[in-house]
């Protein structure tokens, strides 16, 4: 306990330095902005801004990128409540009750519930990250190569199982990502693989190019094809204060949402959107006021909003302790760290205490900032919606182009991004998800290294993966997760939960 306080002290020292405060604020502001704007999400934004962060110290860069991620969860709820327009996937459920509350004249109360619930969830989950981080790291340090391989495999399986749509296609995309990760120089023999003699490919396919192309550019086109439907109604916000009765109803929902969100955030493939859906389902089952659902029940705002924020914080746990990304945003964080020369993993706590504790402390500071950015300044954010998409998409495009060029000062990266833009568009047309591919791409090279090392140590005996207790358990969980998806009942339930 004493350690925790000392460490958090160090963290706050880092997080409260002027530079880091400014960049946390910048991240939160950008996050809120893209959260408000439909058509651009945190994955696209973070990949867009990755090249810009290279000049900064690693800690500052990660603090800013993290701010974008959880800032987007706050921003998304604003438009969901006021305009029935989810700015992010994670706030789709908020529209269900939040907009109804706004129509009933309780928009202010809904916004306050969302913001305060998020803040509470953010605080709790930040403490959770701080407390569980070092513990899990200790466990992770006892992992051998075989255990690591199985852990990554489990991560990939679960992220595919939880992905939208067909599990087979999601696993296919994961494996495709792993295969793309193999392009480049083989670390152990120095042989060039799948480079077609192109020198630019000897370091592998550009991570930023894939992320920008599949999430930034492809998204632009999909948005352009959809007719714009943004009727900016200036509904009255009204009083931000909750009545006593509302407060009493929202509190237990926030608590349940925080707990559920914290758990779902840690799961690979989980994250904010899944947590919000899960919490809404839960509230509809357990709330005493379930008959009010659909007409503006405050529980339906408080629970999901707390859950999505809790999940977006706890999804940092696998990244910070094991070096394994739980979702596409975390895959981008891995990319950002690797480009900074830091290998994410259990040694990060020891080797980079500034980064580890600074990031945790900054999450809490960022949540506090978001509360201030969001509640009193809601009018400004709603105004932002008046920027039409036809001016937004060219801006995104040129930021992509300049950013990706500045990575290596090479136009090849621009063309590479263009290629992945086309590929990403094609994939979305045939319903192949891009997120599992990105996670596979990041984990692929690490998996190969651990596989080779494990097989060398076991003298070529593949049974090592089953015989080692940790590895065996992880594989068993993976097998159960896959097997469960074969049961038609469960699969239908999942589809229903994700389809709304």
Residue 76: CB minimum distance to other proteins, A: 24
Q: Which residue number, 188 or 295, has a Cβ lying nearer to other proteins? A: 188
Residue 330 φ/ψ region, left for φ over 0, alpha for ψ in the -120 to 50 degree band, beta for the rest: alpha
Residue 403: CB minimum distance to other proteins, A: 8
Residue 248: CB minimum distance to other proteins, A: 47
SS3 state at 27: helix
Residue 131: CB minimum distance to other proteins, A: 37
Q: Which helix (H) or strand (E) holds 5?
A: helix 2-15
Q: Which residue number, 4 or 182, has a Cβ lying nearer to other proteins? A: 182
> What is the 8-class DSSP label of residue 228?
P
Q: Which residue number, 182 or 263, has a Cβ lying nearer to other proteins? A: 182
Q: Which residue number, 9 or 462, has a Cβ lying nearer to other proteins? A: 462
Residue 146: CB minimum distance to other proteins, A: 13
CB of 433 within 8 A of CB of 173? yes
Q: Which residue number, 136 or 438, has a Cβ lying nearer to other proteins? A: 438
Q: From CA 315, how far away is CA 307, in angstroms rounded?
A: 12
CA-to-CA separations, 422 to 132, 206, 302, 408, 441, in angstroms, rounded: 41, 16, 39, 22, 18
Task: Find the largest Cα–Cα distance for the chain.
Answer: 70
CA-based end-to-end distance of the chain: 43
**Tokens linked to 22:** 């400014």
Q: Which residue number, 162 or 348, has a Cβ lying nearer to other proteins? A: 162
- What residues are paired with 185 via a beta bridge? 192
Residue 421: CB minimum distance to other proteins, A: 6
CA-to-CA separations, 449 to 148, 323, 344, in angstroms, rounded: 10, 14, 15
Q: From CA 30, how far away is CA 473, in angstroms rounded?
A: 41
Residue 181: CB minimum distance to other proteins, A: 9
Residue listed under structure tokens 């105004």: 383
Residue 447: CB minimum distance to other proteins, A: 8
* Closest among 200, 118, 266 to 411, alpha carbons compared: 200
Beta strands per DSSP E along 103-161: none
Residues at the contact surface with other proteins, assessed by CB under 8 A: 52, 55, 166, 168-169, 171-172, 175-176, 178-179, 182, 186, 188-189, 191, 193-194, 217, 220-221, 224-225, 390-391, 393-395, 397-402, 405-406, 409, 411-412, 414-415, 417-418, 421-422, 425-427, 429-432, 444, 447-448, 451-452, 455-456, 459-460, 462
Residue 143: CB minimum distance to other proteins, A: 20
Residue listed under structure tokens 């023999």: 189
Q: Which residue number, 121 or 464, has a Cβ lying nearer to other proteins? A: 464
CB of 217 within 8 A of CB of 418? yes
Q: Which residue number, 251 or 408, has a Cβ lying nearer to other proteins? A: 408
SS3 state at 287: coil
Residue 33: CB minimum distance to other proteins, A: 14
**Tokens linked to 454:** 């494990």
Q: Which residue number, 188 or 243, has a Cβ lying nearer to other proteins? A: 188
Q: From CA 164, how far away is CA 271, in angstroms rounded?
A: 13
Residue 193 φ/ψ, nearest 5 degrees:
-120, 130
**Tokens linked to 217:** 């550019």
Q: Which residue number, 39 or 261, has a Cβ lying nearer to other proteins? A: 39
């Amino acid at each position: 306990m004493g350690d925790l306080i000392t460490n958090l002290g160090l963290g706050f020292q880092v997080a409260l330095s002027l530079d880091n405060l400014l960049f946390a604020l910048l991240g939160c502001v950008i996050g809120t902005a893209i959260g408000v704007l439909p058509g651009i999400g945190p994955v696209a934004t973070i990949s867009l801004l990755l090249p810009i962060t290279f000049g900064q110290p690693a800690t500052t860069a990660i603090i800013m990128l993290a701010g974008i991620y959880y800032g987007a969860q706050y921003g998304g709820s604003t438009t969901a409540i006021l305009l029935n327009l989810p700015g992010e996937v994670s706030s789709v459920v908020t529209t269900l009750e939040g907009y109804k509350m706004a129509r009933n004249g309780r928009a202010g109360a809904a916004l306050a519930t969302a913001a305060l619930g998020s803040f509470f969830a953010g605080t709790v989950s930040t403490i959770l990250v701080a407390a569980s981080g070092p513990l899990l790291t200790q466990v992770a340090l006892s992992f051998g190569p075989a255990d690591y391989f199985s852990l990554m495999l489990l991560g990939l399986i679960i992220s595919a199982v939880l992905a939208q749509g067909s599990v087979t296609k999601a696993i296919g995309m994961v494996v495709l990502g792993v295969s793309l990760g193999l392009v480049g120089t083989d670390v152990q023999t120095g042989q060039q693989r799948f480079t077609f003699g192109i020198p630019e490919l000897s370091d592998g396919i550009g991570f930023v190019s894939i992320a920008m192309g599949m999430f930034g550019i492809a998204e632009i086109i999909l948005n352009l094809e959809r007719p714009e439907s943004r009727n900016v109604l200036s509904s009255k916000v009204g009083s931000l204060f909750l009545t006593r009765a509302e407060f009493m109803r929202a509190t237990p929902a926030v608590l349940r949402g925080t707990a559920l969100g914290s758990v779902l955030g840690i799961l690979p493939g989980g994250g904010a959107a899944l947590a919000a859906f899960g919490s809404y389902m839960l509230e509809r089952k357990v709330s005493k006021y379930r008959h009010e659902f659909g007409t503006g029940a405050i529980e339906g705002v408080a629970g999901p909003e707390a859950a999505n924020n809790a999940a977006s914080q706890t999804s940092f746990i696998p990244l910070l302790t094991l070096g394994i990304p739980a979702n596409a945003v975390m895959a981008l964080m891995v990319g950002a760290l690797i480009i900074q020369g830091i290998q994410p993993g259990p040694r990060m706590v020891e080797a980079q205490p500034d980064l580890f504790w600074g990031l945790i402390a900054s999450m809490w500071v960022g949540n506090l900032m978001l509360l201030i950015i969001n509640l009193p300044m809601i009018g400004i954010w709603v105004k932002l919606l008046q920027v039409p998409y036809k001016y937004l998409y060219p801006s995104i495009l040129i930021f992509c182009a300049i950013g990706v060029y500045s990575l290596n000062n090479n136009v090849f990266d621009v063309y590479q991004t263009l290629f992945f833009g086309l590929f990403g568009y094609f994939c979305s047309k045939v319903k192949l998800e891009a997120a599992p591919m990105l996670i596979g791409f990041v984990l692929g090279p690490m998996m190969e290294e651990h596989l080779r090392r494990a097989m060398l140590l076991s003298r070529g005996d593949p049974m090592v993966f089953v015989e080692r207790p940790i590895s065996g358990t992880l594989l068993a969980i993976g097998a159960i997760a896959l097997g469960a998806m074969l049961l038609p009942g469960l699969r239908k339930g999942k589809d229903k939960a994700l389809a709304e």
